[in-house]
Amino acid sequence: MKIKQADYVISAVGPAQYPTEGFPEIALSGRSNVGKSSFINTMLNRRNLVRISEKPGKTQKLNYFIVNGSFYFVDVPGYGYAKVSKKDREAWGRMLEKYFAERQELSAVVHLVDLRHPPSKQDIQMHEFLTYYGHPVITIATKTDKIPKSKFQKHKQIIRRDLGLKPDDPLILFSSFNGMGKEEAWRAIESFLN
Ligand code: GDP
């Protein structure tokens, strides 16, 4: 994908703030610190479009980015940050429930997990939640530069098994440090844009 334009548009807390053009949306989800901001910046060839390592748990909104004037990346606030209060966690849950249950424009979800570790309970719950609502999920395993290549296959298998991915479900190895997987991730995303 050639990126001609990528801009922040709005932070939405609910449907009243969602964009209205009807452009397809690609949502991005994952636990805090998984490398989601870095993934978005890498994919959009921007160093600072999404701020890396903002105080985790602080961004409790759906951040919309318009790409090439034709589709949106929707950055979903990360989960799994221990210091978030029960009240904030519940508000987060309601906002996501609403978005994933009702948003017609949502074309696919990029779900990020860390290649180094087995999926957490919350990673597994998030995957179940997304598939429950019938959304295509593109699973991306991040930070591949942090482990030796000899371990890739084994770690991939663990992620596939724990998330319950089917043989045809995509699992793409990615590194925002060396660009691994960028083209493959774009091909997967593009297959859901039309
Ligand atoms: P987010 O909380 O999911 O948005 O994660 P960030 O993109 O802010 O990244 C969290 C931390 O992981 C930062 O210190 C990043 O520099 C680091 N990081 C993100 N992606 C990668 C990667 O592909 N490789 C390595 N080695 N570190 C990464």
- Calpha distance 2→24 (Å, rounded): 17
- Calpha distance 32→137 (Å, rounded): 18
pLDDT at 54 over 70: no
Q: Cβ of 56: how many Cβ atoms within 10 Å?
A: 17
Which of 1-15, 24-38, 54-68 is the least confident region?
54-68
**Burial (CB count within 10 angstroms: exposed 0-12, middle 13-18, buried 19+), residue 121:** exposed
What pLDDT is stored for residue 194 in this prediction?
A: 77
Task: Please report which confidence band the pLDDT of residue 2 belongs to, taking 50, 70 and 90 as the band edges.
Answer: very high
What pLDDT is stored for residue 58 in this prediction?
A: 55
Which of 37-46, 47-56, 73-82 is the least confident region?
47-56
Does 57 sit in the ligand 1 pocket, CB within 6 Å?
no
Does 34 sit in the ligand 1 pocket, CB within 6 Å?
yes
What pLDDT is stored for residue 59 in this prediction?
A: 58
What pLDDT is stored for residue 52 in this prediction?
A: 62
158 CA distance to ligand 1 centroid (A)? 21
Nearest atom of ligand 1 to the alpha carbon of 50: 4
61 CA distance to ligand 1 centroid (A)? 20
**Mean pLDDT of all residues belonging to the chain:** 93
Does 54 sit in the ligand 1 pocket, CB within 6 Å?
no
- ipTM exceeding cut-off 0.95 for this assembly: yes
Give me the percent of the chain exceeding a pLDDT of 70: 96
Does 36 sit in the ligand 1 pocket, CB within 6 Å?
yes
What pLDDT is stored for residue 148 in this prediction?
A: 98
Task: Please report which confidence band the pLDDT of residue 56 belongs to, taking 50, 70 and 90 as the band edges.
Answer: low
Nearest atom of ligand 1 to the alpha carbon of 53: 8
Nearest atom of ligand 1 to the alpha carbon of 33: 2
Q: Cβ of 72: how many Cβ atoms within 10 Å?
A: 24
Pick the CATH number of 6-190 from 3.40.190.10, 3.40.50.1370, 3.40.50.2000, 3.40.50.300: 3.40.50.300
Does 78 sit in the ligand 1 pocket, CB within 6 Å?
yes
What pLDDT is stored for residue 170 in this prediction?
A: 96
Does 11 sit in the ligand 1 pocket, CB within 6 Å?
no
How does pLDDT run across 126-166, given as a tens digit for each residue? 999 999 999 999 999 999 999 999 999 999 999 999 999 99
Q: Which of 53, 49, 62 is nearest to 8 (CA)?
A: 49
- Calpha distance 8→176 (Å, rounded): 20
Task: Name which residue sits closest to atom 14 of ligand 1, judged by CA.
Answer: 53
- Asked whether 27 and 112 are in contact (CB, 8 A), the reply is no
- Calpha distance 156→12 (Å, rounded): 34
Q: Which of 57, 117, 119, 50 is nearest to 82 (CA)?
A: 57
Q: pTM to 2 decimals? A: 0.95
What pLDDT is stored for residue 53 in this prediction?
A: 54
